[in-house]
Structure 1
Amino acid sequence: MWEKLPQDEAVAVKSAPSLTYWQDARRRLWANKPAVVSIGFIILLILGAIFGPFFSPYSYSDQNLKLANIPPAFDTYAVTDGEGNTTRFFLNASNFNLYEVDASGHVLGIMRGERKDMLKKQQPFEIAGQAITLDYAKLPARILSADGTELRTSGWSWNMTYLFGTDQLGRDVLVRQLFGARISLTVAFVATLVNFFIGIFYGGIAGYMGGKTDAIMMRIVEIISTVPLTLYVVLLMVVFDSGLLSIIIAIGSVFWVDMARIVRGQILSLKQQDYVAAARTMGASTPRILTRHLLPNAIGPIIITLTMLIPSAIFIESFMSFIGLGVTPPLASWGTLTSEAVETLRAYPHQLFFPAAAISLTMFAFNFLGDGLRDALDPRFRK
């Protein structure tokens, strides 16, 4: 039975706060943990690529052949003389060299021993007043004391001089990684600008105009998309020198076609809406309808597509540099670092691990960010 509430009893009414479309999208994006982690990784990558090399005492082209192929971590040995002074060193089992290090893990230099015995595959050293022998007759190589017993290692130490180790020419892998990030992110930034200014407006005009204009413009897109990118880069190298400029021109001139198709599809569905007919009735010009009404309402799919195309541009640049069609030495990119490291994969796997991990993590980050933006900008997921 229904009864009227007394006047002195207050009725509490709870209502959700009113949020705009972009406020709700931001709330849902921040609730997506993989997307938030990806945003943090991308920001750190950009900051590291821009400012990281300034904090390193080495440049991407500095060479020190005496410290070539040093790993990022090593198992150290410790030998103490009669006065209590300890000399620390590690064995690079891939090139059979000994390197002196301090207690903190800084590499002091290569240790010179006596003449190698090529028959016995041994090399004697005098370290801290003691006779030490490097025996590489059987792998893995061993460090033998004067009485023939094998020395025990004192523990692993991180390479504090070269955090990511060195390559075959003694160059700092970390600095070259950061310079490679600069090139890859530059290519991605150029691809984003081209997609925004060419792909969006090209697809928007084709979708809004329709008819023969749309047919002609989309046939041009199909012709461009049928040309293999590798062949296109080779043709550009005939005109331009091999390098970053050829990659930027190649990606910038053909990478916008996917964006144009997506924007065209969005505009074809949006131009039938009532607000477009009202704007046309009030005398709005075609550029105004396109820029003020249609493209802003298609901004969600545009942003998602941009974030998905950025890792594709990074991968294309890395692949072109890997096969020798990208940047030229001494410049470094993730593709050239990978190409150089493949030659010494068995002996020095760390040289391949870091550029491959950088490419993989960057592509994962942009893909997770794209998935998060798709969920955040889709009105169907709004609660």
Structure 2
Amino acid sequence: MTDTQVAPEMWAPATRDGAAAEYIAAPSLTFWQDVRKRLWANKPAMLGLGFIILLVLAAIFGPMLSRHTYFEQNLKLSNVPPLFQTYEVTDSTGATTRFFFNSGNLNLYEVTPSGEVAGLLRPAKKDLIKKQQQFKFGDKQVVLDTAKQQLSFADGAALTPSGWQWNMSNLLGTDQLGRDVLARQLYGARISLTVAFVATLVNFFIGVFYGGLAGYLGGKADTIMMRIVEVISTIPLTLYVILIMVVFNSGFLSVVLAIGSVYWVDMARIVRGQILTLKQQDYVAAARTMGASTPRILVRHLLPNSVGPILVTLTMLIPSAIFIESFMSFIGLGVTPPEASWGTLTSEAVETLRAYPYQLFFPAAAISLAMFAFNFLGDGLRDALDPRLRA
């Protein structure tokens, strides 16, 4: 027997199992089950969705849980940073005073051991010629050189910081009027999410049905309806806001009305293109032959088959709406003080950018993260809903 030959006793007939013939190697999935599975596998989309959920929860419950309001002012605690270096001075009686030096406004603030800002410390004496301020802590004196921005004892010994401390009174600091930045950030999230909600509703109820009706009717009706869309889209959104401001004054209502009146045109164009393709399908002709009305064909047959592009477009247009609201508020055409918006927060922070950069960082980061989150989710939905990308 050569190496290539196999002994007869090593051969055995295969077993016959009738149940194995019906065995399915992988479970069958419906379209939406497959979409959900592939969306869950997309990590950037899931991170974006998680951030959006956290943002919604923070916008709803954050202002309720905060001990500050978005309009509450305390000028004594204006421009207090969220993180600072603390100093400790102990007098002969053993009493210790903790404070920090704000280099932006050249003030000293007393700090509790837990990190709460107790209040503004007033100097006992000011020397305008030497540009110095003297502070008394029991029998100890501390001199603040405002020119050099240095702290020292009365005998000239340098005062070294004891460490860094997070501001537990105002976690993100305060603005130039002493208002809590975190509370205003959370209220600004409400404004932005409300704009996103309005844009979603307008896109769905106006853009989807307007574009679907134009695409299904076709002919002269389609031509007239799309010419109206083109006329609306050629007028700048800023001009809409200015015209609405003349009637309703500046504020959040002006931005909502401006977005609600023109923001649906892009959705209408996309849905029209989808309907023009789908209405040539056999199932639409069958429904029409059976006597189905135009609204029924749109609602029951055409629009459900266009839900993929509609969802993707909605998630892509929402960050654009958030940016438009922020830009309008930034240039003074949107939300007006004392109401807070991410746009108004950035506008106010630009004036004090060099001295207090944290006031611009937080609203700018919120706008950027929100736009990234919606874009990541939109990309994930597009990939999950595209059957050509299915493995």
TM-score higher than 0.5 here?
Answer: yes
Question: What is the CA-CA distance between 1:174 and the residue it aligns to?
Answer: 0.4
Which ranges of structure 2 fall in alignment gaps of 5 or more residues? Answer: 1-10
Would the alpha carbon gap of residues 54 and 8 (structure 1) be closer, same or farther in structure 2, given more than 3 Å must change? closer
Deviation, structure 1 residue 294: 0.3
- 3-state SS of paired residue (1:344): coil
For the residues of structure 1 that align with 2:139 and 2:279, how far apart are their CA atoms?
Answer: 86
- Matching of residue 70 in structure 1 with residue 74 in structure 2: no
Secondary structure in structure 2 of the residue aligned to 1:133 = strand
User: Contact 1:200–1:260 (CA<8 Å) still a contact in 2?
Assistant: yes
Q: Deviations over 1:129-183 (max 9, x none)?
A: 3110001222xx1111122122110111100000010000000000001111111
Q: How many Å separate the matches in 1 of 2:199 and 2:17?
A: 66
Give the structure 2 partner of residue 235 of structure 1: 243
Aligned residues between the structures: 380
Q: Cα gap change, 1:99/1:283 in structure 2, threshold over 3 Å: closer, same or farther?
A: same
Partner Cα distance (2:136, 2:94) in 1: 16
Structure 2 SS opposite 1:116: strand
**343, 361, 365: which is aligned to 1:335?**
343
SS at match of 2:127: coil
Q: Which residue of 2 aligns with 1:245?
A: 253
Distance, in Å, in 1 between the alignment partners of 2:125 and 2:153 is: 17
C-alpha spacing 1:190/1:8, structure 2 compared with 1 (3 Å):
closer
> How many Å apart are 1:86 and its aligned residue?
1.7
Distance 1:128 1:215 in 2: 84
| SS class of match (2:110) | strand
CA contact (8 A) 1:321 1:333 kept: yes
Q: What letter matches 1:5 in structure 2?
A: A
- Which of 83, 98, 101 matches 1:91? 101
Residue of structure 2 in register with 1:152 after alignment: 160
Determine if contact 1:121/1:135 at 8 Å carries over to the other structure. yes
Distance, in Å, in 2 between the alignment partners of 1:86 and 1:370 is 55
1:61 aligns with 2:71: yes
CA distance in 2: counterparts of 1:150 and 1:164, whole angstroms: 30
Describe the shift of the 1:285–1:11 C-alpha distance in structure 2 as closer, same or farther (beyond 3 A).
closer
Q: One-letter code of the match for 1:334?
A: W
Choose the corresponding residue for 1:109, options 119, 125, 136.
119
Paired letter, 2:267: M
Tell me the distance in 2 between the aligned counterparts of 1:3 and 1:323. 84
Q: Secondary structure of 1:161's match? A: coil
1:249-289: CA deviation from partner (whole Å, max 9, x where unpaired): 00000000000000000001111111111111111111111
CA distance in 2, matches of 1:70, 1:7: 80
Between the aligned partners of 2:198 and 2:296, the Cα distance in structure 1 is: 26
| Mean Cα deviation higher: 297-306 or 55-64 | 55-64
The aligned amino acid for 1:155 is G
C-alpha separation between the residues in 2 aligned to 1:83 and 1:15? 81
Does the alignment pair 1:5 with 2:14? yes
1:1-383 → structure 2 map (5 Å cutoff): 5-7=14-16, 15-138=25-148, 141-383=149-391
Write the distance in 1 (CA, Å) between the matches of 2:15 and 2:48. 55
- Structure 1 segments (4+ residues) deviating >3 Å: 6-14
Deviation at 1:128, TM superposition (A): 4.0
Q: Could you tell me how far apart the structure 2 residues matched to 1:3 and 1:259 are?
A: 66
1:14: Cα distance to partner?
A: 5.3
Q: Do the aligned residues in 1 keep the contact of 2:125 with 2:135 (CA within 8 Å)?
A: no
* 1:6 shift after superposition: 4.0
Equivalent residue letter for 2:273: G
Question: How much has 1:7 moved relative to structure 2?
Answer: 3.9
Amino acid at match of 1:89: F
What's the offset of the Cα at 1:327?
1.1
In the alignment, residue 297 of structure 1 is paired with which amino acid?
N
How far residue 40 of structure 1 moved from its aligned partner, in angstroms, is: 1.0
Change (3 A) 1:365 1:278: same
- Distance in 1 between the 2:130 and 2:259 partners? 56
Q: Structure 2 CA distance, aligned partners of 1:7 and 1:358?
A: 64
Given the two structures, how large is their TM-score scaled by the length of structure 2? 0.95
Counterparts of 1:345 and 1:219, CA distance in 2: 46
SS across alignment from 1:123: strand
Q: In structure 2, what residue type is equivalent to 1:143?
A: L
Cα displacement string for residues 67-91 of structure 1 (whole angstroms, at most 9, x for unaligned residues)? 0000000000011122333211000
Give RMSD over aligned pairs. Answer: 1.6
